[in-house]
Amino acid sequence: MKFVDEASIRVRAGNGGHGCLSFRREKYVERGGPDGGDGGHGGSVYLVAHKSLNTLADFRVARRFKAAGGGGGAGRNKTGRSGDDLDVMVPIGTVVNDVDTGEIICDLTSPGQRHKVAEGGRGGQGNTRFKSSVNRAPRKFTKGTQGEGRHLSLELKVIADVGLLGMPNAGKSTLITAMSQARPRIADYPFTTLHPNLGVVRVGQLQSFVMADIPGLIKGASEGAGLGIQFLKHLQRTGLLLHLVDIAPVDPEVKPAEEVQALAQELVNFSAELSRKTRWLVINKTDLLTADDLAAARKSLLDQLQWDGVVFEVSAATGAGTQQLGQAIMQELERIKEDSDGE
């Protein structure tokens, strides 16, 4: 199924049933009193986060959702049947906005989370409700109210502990394959990955984290180049960013330091919050260089970047260094969690 991370839908709750105007009619009962029942309530519309979904592609076809209406009241004080609520399944990580008001309605971040997005109409009252000591035969009843209708925009943001950041062909798909059971599409040309891939990296028996392979970004991504805005937003939920850099590019005109600086600037342009996230530099494709050449390339890269953060050297193709990287990531995520719990 094609990955889709934005969609627009219209939802409408069911209308309430009308109240009934009725009087008791029985043999030998000359003037039976009012016995009109109430109308049933209309069904509401809920959005429910479902763990088996990972794309909004279905909403490109099904765009309108309507809950059942309530039944009308009847004589003998019979209340109309209430309409069933409608559950609409969406992927975990879906942010829901009201298109007309711009209001953020909900952010569905956990499996089974359920949020009402359209309220069902209330059932009308039958004429029995209006009987009083001064009005023994009321002919008044009320109609059911209309169900709420809304125009919603759905935006899916991948939920992962770690996000892989890097230019096309930096080796992100290969790295997530080496560290997890994910099997993204891999080839030796840019933009092989056209949607985020998630992989669970298991470090120990009870230790694991989720890594997201974000499609390759390019200069100008924060302004939409290369679908950059659609991809950058998936990094917003991550706790740690791994900035992957190809230390041995095939094209001699490609400068690793300039690529790192370009993407770092895109993070700043897109979101100040995103640019402040912890970011580690991961030097990839170390197997393509000799030890001396690798040491020289590393020193040159770090000097140009004036990098004083965490640095790892790996070969995603051979798996060298990936185990140590996974263990360090697990320790960092646990530290981040402890800090957030202590606040």
Rounded Cα gap, residues 158 and 147, in angstroms: 32
In a 10 Å sphere around its CB, with 0-12 CB exposed, 13-18 middle and 19+ buried, how is residue 204 labelled? exposed
Whether the per-residue pLDDT at 254 is higher than 90: the answer is: no
The helix or strand, by DSSP H or E, that contains position 304, with its residue range, turns out to be helix 291-305
Amino acid at 132: S
pLDDT on residue 121? 98
Q: Which residue has the tokens 């140009």?
A: 304
Rounded Cα gap, residues 172 and 170, in angstroms: 6
Mean pLDDT value of segment 23-37:
87
Whether the per-residue pLDDT at 132 is higher than 80: the answer is: yes
What is the pLDDT confidence band of residue 230, given thresholds at 50, 70 and 90? Answer: low
pLDDT on residue 180? 83
Rounded to 10 degrees, the C-alpha dihedral 124/127/132/138 comes to 130
Mean pLDDT of the chain: 86
SS in 3 state form for 86-154? EEEEEECCEEEEECCCCCEEEEECCCCCEEEEECCCCCCCCHHHHCCCCCCCCCCCCCCCCCCEEEEEE
Mean pLDDT value of segment 55-80:
93
Whether the per-residue pLDDT at 231 is higher than 50: the answer is: yes
Rounded Cα gap, residues 25 and 53, in angstroms: 56
Name the packing angle between helices 172-179 and 322-342 (round to 10°): 80
The model's pLDDT over 323-335, given as tens digits with 9 standing for 90+, comes to: 999 999 999 999 9
Whether the per-residue pLDDT at 92 is higher than 60: the answer is: yes
Rounded Cα gap, residues 236 and 249, in angstroms: 28
What is the pLDDT confidence band of residue 342, given thresholds at 50, 70 and 90? Answer: low
What is the pLDDT confidence band of residue 182, given thresholds at 50, 70 and 90? Answer: low
Question: Which of 169-183, 228-242, 299-313, 324-338 comes out lowest in average pLDDT?
Answer: 228-242
Whether the per-residue pLDDT at 59 is higher than 50: the answer is: yes
What is the pLDDT confidence band of residue 74, given thresholds at 50, 70 and 90? Answer: very high
Rounded Cα gap, residues 46 and 110, in angstroms: 15
Whether the per-residue pLDDT at 97 is higher than 60: the answer is: yes
Helix, strand, coil percentages (3-state) for the chain, rounded to 5, are: 25, 25, 50
Hey, which of 17-31, 201-215, 296-310 has the most confident mean pLDDT? 296-310
Mean pLDDT value of segment 40-54:
93
Whether the per-residue pLDDT at 102 is higher than 90: the answer is: yes
Sheet holding 207-213, edge to edge: 197-204, 207-213, 162-165, 240-246, 279-284, 311-313
Structure tokens at 196: 């985020």
Percent of the chain scoring above 90 in pLDDT? 58
The model's pLDDT over 263-295, given as tens digits with 9 standing for 90+, comes to: 888 888 888 888 888 999 999 999 999 999 999
Cβ atoms < 10 Å from Cβ of 312 = 18
Is there a contact between 39 and 74 (Cβ–Cβ < 8 Å)?
A: no
Hey, which of 33-42, 162-171, 189-198 has the most confident mean pLDDT? 33-42
Mean pLDDT value of segment 184-201:
55
Domains of the chain, CATH where assigned: 6-156 (2.70.210.12), 162-342 (3.40.50.300)
